[in-house]
Amino acid sequence: MKNKFFYLTIALTTSFLLLTGCGKKGESWAYDYDPQTEVMALYENGSAEFKGEKYKYTKDDSFIHLIKGDEKLDLRYMTGDGNITIYEKSIYKQDGTKNEGIKGSWAADNGWTFVFTADGKFSEENIFFGNYSVDEENACIKLMYDDPIPDAYLYYEINGDELTIEYPWPLVKTEAAS
């Protein structure tokens, strides 16, 4: 009886250590506009959470690769000043008017919109306006806002009437709720 209790105690202790010790959170990130709400956590054991979903992950100098079964989500990222910017993909459909490149009106299923004019002007959500330039070699759009908003660099891909945009979202280390 003493042996069973001893082995059961060892097994439970080992299980507890494996479950808590190996899953130590390495990084915890929140959108900069809501620093108390975690959006992404990367654990030392190779697991991750992103927007409430659990994944396994790997990370290189340019991408965080999130994997869940057959699903793979590649988040482009950049670091600076102790923070990180991730690029989230959205797919936009052209309004039916065929234009060359990114020119035209584009709308996503979630209601987000972009309009790019032939004279280098853009509208984002019909709220933010400015000028844009396109670096076709690097598949990058530079948005230069009229408002006092920092320039944004979007990565893009066009496939027929679909425009996939990787939009930058600044993240900060998660702050503890007070």
Q: Is 106 within a domain?
A: yes
Considering the domain architecture, whether residues 113 and 132 belong to the same structural domain is answered as yes
Nearest residue to 162 (alpha-carbon basis) of 73, 115, 116, 102: 102
pLDDT at residue 8 above 70? Answer: no
Nearest residue to 101 (alpha-carbon basis) of 167, 159, 168: 159
Q: Is 29 within a domain?
A: yes
pLDDT at residue 89 above 90? Answer: yes
pLDDT at residue 74 above 90? Answer: yes
Q: Is 35 within a domain?
A: yes
| Count of domains for the chain | 2
- Say what the pLDDT of residue 176 is: 63
pLDDT at residue 97 above 80? Answer: no
- Which residue bears the tokens 């190779």? 46
- Say what the pLDDT of residue 6 is: 38
- Say what the pLDDT of residue 23 is: 57
Between these two residues, 5 and 136, which has the higher pLDDT value?
Answer: 136
- Say what the pLDDT of residue 59 is: 95
Q: How far is CA 3 from the centre of its chain?
A: 51
CB neighbour list of residue 97: distance below 8 Å, 6 or more residues apart: 104, 105
Considering the domain architecture, whether residues 128 and 53 belong to the same structural domain is answered as no
What torsion, rounded to 10 degrees, do the Cα atoms 34, 176, 24, 169 define?
10
Q: What percent of the chain has pLDDT over 70?
A: 85
Considering the domain architecture, whether residues 93 and 79 belong to the same structural domain is answered as no
Considering the domain architecture, whether residues 47 and 101 belong to the same structural domain is answered as no
Q: Is 11 within a domain?
A: no
Which residues span the domain enclosing 119? 88-173
pLDDT at residue 14 above 50? Answer: no
Q: What is the DSSP string of 23-70?
A: T-EEEEEEETT-TTSEEEEEETTSEEEETTEEEEEEE-SSEEEEEETT
Q: Is 10 within a domain?
A: no
Considering the domain architecture, whether residues 33 and 78 belong to the same structural domain is answered as yes
Considering the domain architecture, whether residues 111 and 66 belong to the same structural domain is answered as no
pTM over 0.85? The answer is no
The per-residue pLDDT for range 118-173, each reduced to its tens digit, is 999 999 999 999 999 999 999 999 999 999 999 999 999 999 889 999 999 999 99
- Say what the pLDDT of residue 108 is: 94
Segment 100-108 shows an average pLDDT of: 92
Distance CA 108, CA 94 (A): 9
Distance CA 89, CA 164 (A): 7
Last residue of a domain, one of 83, 115, 130: 83
- Say what the pLDDT of residue 11 is: 42
Q: Is 117 within a domain?
A: yes
Q: With bands split at pLDDT 50, 70 and 90, how would you rate the model's confidence at 7?
A: very low
Rg (CA), the chain: 22
Number of H helices, E strands in the chain: 1, 14
Q: Is 120 within a domain?
A: yes
Segment 42-55 shows an average pLDDT of: 96
